[in-house]
Amino acid sequence: MLSLVRRLSRWARGIGAPPSVPDALWLTTLAHYPFLPQAYEPENARLRLLAAHFLDQKEFTGAHGLVVTDAMALAIAAQACLPLLRLGPPNRPEAALAWYDDFVGIVIQPDEVMARREVMDEAGVVHHYEEVITGEAMDHGPVMLSWPAVQEAGNTDGLGLSVVIHEFIHKMDMKGGEADGCPPLPPGFMGTHSARSARAAWFSVLEPAFLALRDQVSLAERFGQPMPWLDAYGATSIEEFFPVACEAYFVQRARFTEEWPALTRLFDALFHPREQLA
């Protein structure tokens, strides 16, 4: 029996009928990631369709001998498509996948990855260092994900974490060019009348929130105050704050809304609130 991913690949080449995600596999995925729309929710069928089209369009590769199963591919597809749930036309939700059309490959690592980095200081001196990462999205290139981190999404002591959502929000940010914390915004975003005013409206909310998190992290590190609930990695830069905040928005929406109400309104304007899906 052909695996789901292989059958989707055959469909992409015009061989066979478009397959649906098997019921048992879909239900298992929903049970493991309870922040996904559940079977009784109206968004469920739309997400399932998006995930099937995503699997059709992307190629999964396991690194270091890792064998990618249907369950692994679907876990990534479902989380990657969650931000797109309301972005496509009602009759063609798969059109929203244009946000991710700059790449095909997804590389799944069996563990964390040690990445070599370099940074230039204000004096022009280049410093080299190594950083442990669980995911990375490359502009016009593949997405790398650590499988243990993918599995842990939504299950880490109530933290709003999903490495898949994080990296695919980076992809949305990059859709407008270099990642800067602001994706391309729809016409009329939050009542604005131009792309420039839309960006200004976006950053008028996002930047103060980023600075607030940075202050919270600084107080925790310097004076022993409690660390904020939102992942402290978001305090490193505004282009990292955006995906960190989106992780929490999708994974732990109730708590995120309580702690960051202005950001919830901002993200609702882009992604649309779930309760309004017809």
Domain extent listing, the chain:
1-176, 180-278
Helix (H) or strand (E) holding 70: helix 70-81
Report CA 58 to chain centroid distance, whole Å.
15
DSSP state of 158: T
The architecture that CATH gives domain 1-176 is: Orthogonal Bundle (1.10)
The Cα 235–Cα 50 span in angstroms is 32
pLDDT per position in the chain (278 positions), as tens?
A: 346 655 555 444 454 434 789 999 999 999 999 999 999 998 999 999 999 999 999 999 999 999 999 999 999 999 999 999 999 888 888 899 999 999 999 999 999 886 665 666 667 666 556 677 899 999 999 999 999 999 999 886 678 999 999 999 999 999 989 999 999 999 899 999 999 999 999 999 999 999 999 999 999 999 999 999 999 999 999 999 999 999 999 999 999 999 999 999 999 999 985 444 44
Domains 1-176 and 180-278 share a fold: no
Q: Which two tokens stand for residue 23?
A: 């019921």
Q: Nearest CA to 77 among 55, 109, 102?
A: 55
Count of H helices and E strands in the chain? 10, 6
DSSP state of 146: E
CB 220 within 8 A of CB 227: yes
The architecture that CATH gives domain 180-278 is: 3-Layer(aba) Sandwich (3.40)
Residue 209 corresponds to which amino acid?
A
The Cα 9–Cα 132 span in angstroms is 33
Residue whose token pair is 């309870």: 34
Q: Nearest CA to 107 among 85, 134, 132?
A: 134
Instruction: Mention every residue, 6+ apart, whose C-beta is less than 8 A from residue 128.
Output: 116, 117, 118
Q: Which two tokens stand for residue 211?
A: 């600075």
The Cα 113–Cα 115 span in angstroms is 6
CB 55 within 8 A of CB 77: yes
Residue whose token pair is 């490193």: 236
Give whole-number Cα distances, 235 to 26, 41, 113, 213, 245, in Å: 35, 34, 21, 6, 10
Q: Nearest CA to 243 among 157, 180, 153, 178?
A: 180
The Cα 273–Cα 264 span in angstroms is 9
Q: Which two tokens stand for residue 244?
A: 């960190």
